[in-house]
């Protein structure tokens, strides 16, 4: 394969609140939040994301979340699909196992950020990665934390990545 081949890398951004965060956050948190963000990386023709069951993949826009609210162009990568799948296997067996999911500290957005940096050297937008600290900086966020910590988000519709290339 030609070593100069490049592949586009996109960040799919979904508002899990379907617009409710924008309406209710000023009342509940005392500050405006534009959404409750779920993100995924799209590369090599698939969408990859992390949730309470580990790393999953699907066709782009193939979860029940439907089409993303926003698509961010993260640039391109020279990382081949085979190398990328080996990388995901490593992550899926260690850092991004399903039992390591934590809504505020270790979630789909931390996964997307780490994978984006591996593929392109670029981070995902700060308004996404800063959201947990914004919520937790409010009294209501602190009061809800014990309940929210027990939530494990896994958008239905993906294929669970079992850590073996070609056997997703």
**What are φ and ψ of residue 17, in 5° steps?**
-90, -5
d(CA 51, CA 134): 21
Question: How crowded is residue 135: how many other Cβ atoms within 10 Å of its Cβ?
Answer: 23
d(CA 54, CA 110): 13
- Give long-range contacts, CB 8 A cutoff, 24+ apart: 91-99: 91/55, 91/115, 92/54, 92/55, 92/161, 92/162, 92/163, 93/163, 96/50, 96/54, 96/55, 97/54, 98/51, 98/52, 98/53, 98/54, 98/152
Q: Is 106 a catalytic residue?
A: no
Question: How crowded is residue 52: how many other Cβ atoms within 10 Å of its Cβ?
Answer: 16
d(CA 135, CA 137): 5
Q: Is 108 a catalytic residue?
A: yes
Q: How far is CA 109 from the centre of its chain?
A: 4
Which of 38, 152, 160, 164 is labelled catalytic? 38
Which of 44, 108, 152, 164 is labelled catalytic? 108
Catalytic amino acids? 38, 108
């Amino acid at each position: 394969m030609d070593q100069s081949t490049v592949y586009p890398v996109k960040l799919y951004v979904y508002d899990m609140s379907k617009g409710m965060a924008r309406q209710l956050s000023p009342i509940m948190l005392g500050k405006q939040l534009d959404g409750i963000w779920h993100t995924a990386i799209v590369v090599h023709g698939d969408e990859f994301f992390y949730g309470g069951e580990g790393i999953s993949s699907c066709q782009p826009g193939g979860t029940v979340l439907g089409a993303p609210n926003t698509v961010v162009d993260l640039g391109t990568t020279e990382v081949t699909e085979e190398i990328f799948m080996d990388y995901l296997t490593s992550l899926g067996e260690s850092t991004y196992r399903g039992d390591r999911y934590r809504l505020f500290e270790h979630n789909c957005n931390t996964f997307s950020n780490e994978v984006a940096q591996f593929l392109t050297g670029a981070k995902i937008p700060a308004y996404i990665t800063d959201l947990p600290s914004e919520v937790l900086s409010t009294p209501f966020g602190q009061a809800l934390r014990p309940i929210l910590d027990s939530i494990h988000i896994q958008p239905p519709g993906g294929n669970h990545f079992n850590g073996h290339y070609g056997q997703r």
